Structure 1
Amino acid sequence: MNYWLVKSEPVKYSWQKFNQDGRTFWDGVRNYQARNNLKEMKQGDLVLFYHSNEGKAVVGIAKVAKEFYQDPTTEDPNWVVVDLEPVESLKNPVTLEQIKADTQLKDIGLVRQGRLSVMGLKREEFDRIIELGS
């Protein structure tokens, strides 16, 4: 299993809306590194859902429900989506400030590549964020 983090501005697509929908395709990725990460996602992989801009916190856990396919919002074959389903909300959102202050998370992509919208996580990083959010 692989572990990931995806970012969404809550005003555009919030964790609450995602839970109401029950499933969504993760579209709008227009960065090649983030797109390549989408292509590496496998069904069943776990994904942390991060609210960017407002809130700046990991708020929940999702899973990959369907592996990559053509992004239906564009005809450009360079761009893909995956389907995600919500798993559970974190009891306590884990803020970017907490992540930056945690020595176990100092090398996490969220800190090193803050603008990347889809990134891989090491299992230890995923587990540590879950621990902080319990």
Structure 2
Amino acid sequence: MAYWLFKTEPDTFSIDTLRTQITSCWEGVRNYQARNMMRDLIKVGDFVLIYHSSCKHVGVAGIAKVIKESYPDHFAFDPDSDYFDPKSTIDNPRWFMVDIEFVRKTERLIPLSVLKAIPELVNMPLVKRGSRLSIMPVSEQEWQAILEKEKNALL
């Protein structure tokens, strides 16, 4: 089992959306490094921090679990989709997605400012300047430090 952080813009898809849907595909990843992690490393049973970005209140908002390993992102084949890629074909897909399942919302949003102050996260790409990946690995130590901070009433 591994741990991951998936960034999402809550105006498009939030932890509340996932809570309502229960399960969802995680489509639209259009960065090769993130795609490679999704395609090659993310496995059924892995846990995911859902991170709200590009919004007023950025931070960890909930937890999901991977329930289906990577498969071709069919939105890349749909000319009417925002994620359409004419170079991606059914025979040679460029983009992949996984399915996730809602586990729970965090007790409160864990803001980026709080995450940056956690010593165990100093090497986490999320807290480093210029990190643009929409999917990133989270070590077990980082995962535990984040969940411990969630319990801390001083957020």
TM-score norm. by structure 2 comes to 0.83
Q: Which amino acid aligns with 1:23?
A: T
Question: Using the alignment, how far apart are the partners of 1:4 and 1:70 within structure 2?
Answer: 20
Q: Tell me the distance in 2 between the aligned counterparts of 1:102 and 1:126.
A: 11
After superposition, where does 1:106-117 map in structure 2 within 5 Å? 106-112=122-128, 114-117=131-134
- Normalised TM-score (structure 1): 0.96
Residue 121 of structure 2 is aligned to residue 105 of structure 1: yes
Percent of aligned pairs with the same amino acid: 41
Structure of larger gyration radius = 2
Please point out which of 110, 121, 125 is paired with 1:94. 110
Q: Which amino acid aligns with 1:57?
A: G
What are the ranges of 5 or more consecutive residues in structure 1 without an aligned counterpart?
none
- 2 CA distance for matches of 1:125 and 1:70? 30
CA distance in 1, matches of 2:114, 2:105: 18
Deviation by residue 1:81-133 (Cα, 9 ceiling, x = unmatched) = 00000111111211100011111111112123521000101000011111111
**Are residues 1:44 and 2:60 paired?**
no
CA RMSD in angstroms comes to 1.0
Question: How far apart in 1 are the matches of 2:149 and 2:109?
Answer: 8
Q: 2:69 aligns with which of 67, 70, 94?
A: 67
Q: Which amino acid in 2 is paired with 1:18? A: L
How many pairs align? Answer: 134
**Kept after mapping to 1: 8 A contact 2:118/2:145:** no
Counterpart in the other structure of 1:58: 60
Gaps of 5+ in 2: 78-87
